[in-house]
Amino acid sequence: MSFQPNFDFVEELRWRGLLHDAMPGAQELLNTEQVTGYVGFDPTADSLHIGNLVPITQLMHFQRAGHIPVALVGGATGMVGDPSGKTDERKLLDVETINHNIACQKAQLQKFIEFGEGGNKAKMVNNYDWFKNWSFLDFIRDVGKHITVSYMMSKDSVRNRLESGGISFTEFTYQLVQGYDFLHLYKNEGCKLQMGGSDQWGNITTGTELIRRMAGGEGFALTAPLITKADGTKFGKSEGGNVWLDPARTSPYKFYQFWLNVADEDAIRFIKIYSLKNRDQIEALIAEHTGQEHMRILQKELAAEMTTRVHSEHDLEMALKATQIFFGNGSAEDLKALDEATLAAAADGMERFEVEKSSLAQGIQVLDLLAVNTQIFPSKSEARKMLQANGFAFNKDKYADIDGTINDAILLHGKYLIAQKGKKQYFLIEAV
């Protein structure tokens, strides 16, 4: 029985804005046989980031269509450094760091792609496993002779670097090493397709050339566009840098907020690119969103789906609660229900004051706390006026007792106190 994909993979990517280029014949191949295809991930950090979600999403749709995904972690290529899209030489990593990064990335990839045996379960491979036995002389003799220098120099990744100041021999040879990955997977896993970002086209086609010259076979390339925001800047960064998938690097709350704050002009593109909802569902959401953009319907759906997929339902619940507390009408009970990690993340942008825990244990007169131990108010008289006007709260509970004493019983998680002036001005008091 001939293979019938669950849907036309290339058309699905095209509609979603996930297709930049594909080699002739790739679509026909994918619609007539079950294809093994791979994406490579270089272990440059101990966490993937949302820029990596594009190739991850490629693999997820690939598997959903009925094909067999391979996730390659670059234990070998990570030692070399990919010049694609870079203006400067990458910092070389030691083996211990690379292995640590690989272990972390493997754990993350397993959250998105179904690995295992049989059917169209995915496989994970490490290119160090086949490069560790190669000698330099053997590699340049047996592989290097099949690719000319002029061919390598014609690639954008190389040409751009030469024009901007030069490229080391190490990074110059990267495309040859990645190209051999494709050849190895073609010969050993029956892999006929390599996917990646559009900046990887040169590296991927070097692999198809090696397959043609050294194995007499045919490999195919398929790339996704590099995702940018409407203003032309790179997508996937916040004010603090990369938006990471590891909650220790980017908290689930901040992750949720990143998607929630996507610009209106980007929301329609991004819901298609990143959501796994089907076309009918997405088009219904776009129709609902259009004309009432201030409701942020698409952003809320995207933030909820991505936070759940990357983190968990619990993390989404906490992020929603925190958002409601600090930007909506959340209650004192909601604040007390926040877990410590979410509270700390939500309070990250607040003006922060430290108070000795021992002093709080003994009790601090409220006006002293607000104007002496901290500088929430410039003076006790200003603090008194605000309290008397019923415009102040501790932990979302109104507080008006100007003669009151604050002690450690009020602390959240034994260390935090949220002070609120008016409706939107929050301060974090931390007991240390």
Domain membership of residue 363 (yes or no) is: yes
Are residues 208 and 317 located together in one domain of the fold?
A: no
* Domain boundary pick from 224, 247, 274: 224
How many domains is the chain built from?
Answer: 3
pLDDT at 162 over 90: no
- Distance between CA atoms of residues 383 and 404, nearest Å: 12
Residue 91 confidence (pLDDT): 65
What is the separation of C-alpha 245 from the centre of its chain, rounded to a whole number of angstroms? 5
Domain membership of residue 28 (yes or no) is: yes
- Distance between CA atoms of residues 147 and 179, nearest Å: 10
- Return the CATH number at 105: 3.40.50.620
Are residues 50 and 142 located together in one domain of the fold?
A: yes
9's tokens: 């993979």
- Distance between CA atoms of residues 124 and 117, nearest Å: 11
Are residues 258 and 147 located together in one domain of the fold?
A: no
Mean pLDDT, residues 19-23 taken together = 97
Give tens-digit pLDDT for 233-265. 777 766 567 899 999 999 999 999 999 999 998
* Domain boundary pick from 299, 329, 359: 329
Domain membership of residue 197 (yes or no) is: yes
Are residues 323 and 387 located together in one domain of the fold?
A: no
What is the three-state SS of 39-93?
EEECCCCCCCEHHHHHHHHHHHHHHHCCCEEEEEECCCHHHHCCCCCCCCCCCCC
Say which residue, 404 or 153, is predicted with more confidence: 404
Residue 171 confidence (pLDDT): 76
**122 touches 112 (CB < 8 A):** no
Going by pLDDT thresholds of 50, 70 and 90, the confidence category of residue 423 is confident
Domain membership of residue 303 (yes or no) is: yes
Residue 237 confidence (pLDDT): 63
**158 touches 175 (CB < 8 A):** yes
* Domain boundary pick from 297, 329, 361: 329
Give tens-digit pLDDT for 390-400. 999 999 999 99
- Distance between CA atoms of residues 202 and 85, nearest Å: 11
Are residues 99 and 172 located together in one domain of the fold?
A: yes
- Max mean pLDDT range (129-143, 270-284, 324-338): 270-284
Are residues 141 and 16 located together in one domain of the fold?
A: yes
What is the separation of C-alpha 347 from the centre of its chain, rounded to a whole number of angstroms? 22
- Return the CATH number at 250: 1.10.240.10
284's tokens: 């219904």
pLDDT at 114 over 90: yes
Give this prediction's pTM: 0.86
Give tens-digit pLDDT for 88-98. 555 677 888 88
Are residues 167 and 254 located together in one domain of the fold?
A: no
Domain membership of residue 259 (yes or no) is: yes
Query: By mean pLDDT, which of 168-177, 302-311, 345-354, 399-408 is the weakest?
Result: 168-177
Are residues 213 and 151 located together in one domain of the fold?
A: yes
Percent of the residues in the chain that have a pLDDT greater than 90, as a whole number: 72
- Distance between CA atoms of residues 41 and 47, nearest Å: 11
Domain hosting 291: range is: 237-329
Residue 313 confidence (pLDDT): 96
155's tokens: 């690639």
Domain membership of residue 337 (yes or no) is: no
Are residues 367 and 262 located together in one domain of the fold?
A: no
Are residues 87 and 137 located together in one domain of the fold?
A: yes
Mean pLDDT, residues 65-93 taken together = 75
Domain membership of residue 402 (yes or no) is: yes
Are residues 276 and 191 located together in one domain of the fold?
A: no
- Return the CATH number at 388: 3.10.290.10
Query: β-pairing, 351-355 with 425-431?
Result: parallel
Domain membership of residue 424 (yes or no) is: yes
- Percent helix, strand, coil in the chain, to 5, is 50, 15, 35
**178 touches 206 (CB < 8 A):** yes
Going by pLDDT thresholds of 50, 70 and 90, the confidence category of residue 139 is confident
Question: How does the average pLDDT of the chain come out, rounded?
Answer: 90
15's tokens: 């509609």
Are residues 310 and 385 located together in one domain of the fold?
A: no
R_g over Cα of the chain: 27
Q: Which helix (H) or strand (E) holds 364?
A: strand 364-365
DSSP state for residue 198 in the 8-state scheme: G
Going by pLDDT thresholds of 50, 70 and 90, the confidence category of residue 83 is low
**198 touches 226 (CB < 8 A):** yes
